[in-house]
Structure 1
């Protein structure tokens, strides 16, 4: 593990219905940029961060948060730590190795409908900016 600031517990947010022992792997489309297939699986040591990811996840299922354990090496998420929050205060990580589901967390803080819409609007704006960069 390189530059890891803590050892968990760790959490992953999704709309997938999982069970203890299931493995989460990279290789799926990004929730935030569906045109990209992810080379990493992302997780955090903060339940609210996993809850936000669950709320914004693609798909029709209920948002869910799981406590997970990395099977192999992991690193600070450079998309957050290098670009937005030096020092990783969001405690966000990624791995090319699977995450093992330990249990579902049911008491995580949910976003209000307005808060969720704000996040969706921000993501839509980022996608539009990305499209503009490609076109121009």
Structure 2
């Protein structure tokens, strides 16, 4: 299941987050509740309940909604949803700790750690670039960031979503044509901390990074390409992003 920002429930949650950022928590709460009532499948219900939980002032109510979100997430066999388990279990552990139930807190904290140590995603994986490469070539860390030219990257980045790799190729530095390669990690990898547990729970864009090289095993040519207007919007968004890159 590919994360879809055009999904009506996702849009409703984005509206709620915007209200939060504007210091309007009551309006945000109404939008998250509306998302919950509009949700029609387990993924939408998981997402909506996660945000409803964030609005709860009472710890017991927070725990109830978090456990409801977890119950929906456990029904979904999807790597993007599984990436939210560490945050879900950790938040539930903190609720149990605050409620004076240390055994349950310890149990859920252990589950959070277990799910965080290694992403469950088995791929296939992709890397977008404008470089002309061959099968068998290795992509290694140490290149300049596409988003902050003076920054040397300590990791090599990749994704399990071909359209995400296509966007990365379109935004990459250089004058070559956009290329999306199928890649195979040669070592361990982790969720990209720059996008994981930010606006949405977990790693919905299935973005990863590794200190070990990626081996090119093929090339794909079919992905959804951005319009010039969409690319300009992305470039403006990145140019206006004041946040620090976690390197």
Taking structure 2 as the reference length, the TM-score comes to: 0.50
Runs of 4+, deviation exceeding 2 Å: 82-86
Which structure's CA Rg is the greater one?
A: 2
Question: What runs of 5+ residues in structure 2 fail to find an aligned partner?
Answer: 1-115
1:69 aligns with 2:187: no
Structure 1 pair 17/91, CA: closer, same or farther in 2 (3 Å)?
Answer: same
After TM superposition, give the deviation of residue 5 of structure 1 in Å.
2.8
What is the number of residues matched between the two proteins?
128
Root-mean-square deviation (Å): 1.4
Question: What runs of 5+ residues in structure 1 fail to find an aligned partner?
Answer: 131-136
The structure whose residues are more often helix, as a share, is 2
After TM superposition, give the deviation of residue 2 of structure 1 in Å.
2.9
SS where residue 144 of structure 2 aligns? coil
| Structure 2 counterpart of 1:42, from 151, 157, 165 | 157
Match of 1:13 in 2: 128
Match of 1:134 in 2: none
SS where residue 79 of structure 1 aligns? coil
The structure whose residues are more often strand, as a share, is 1
Match of 1:113 in 2: 228
Taking structure 1 as the reference length, the TM-score comes to: 0.89
Whether the aligned pair in 2 keeps the contact of 1:13 and 1:53 (CA below 8 Å) is yes
Map Cα deviations across residues 66-123 of structure 1 (whole Å, 9 max, x no partner).
0000000001111110334331111110000000001111111111111111111111
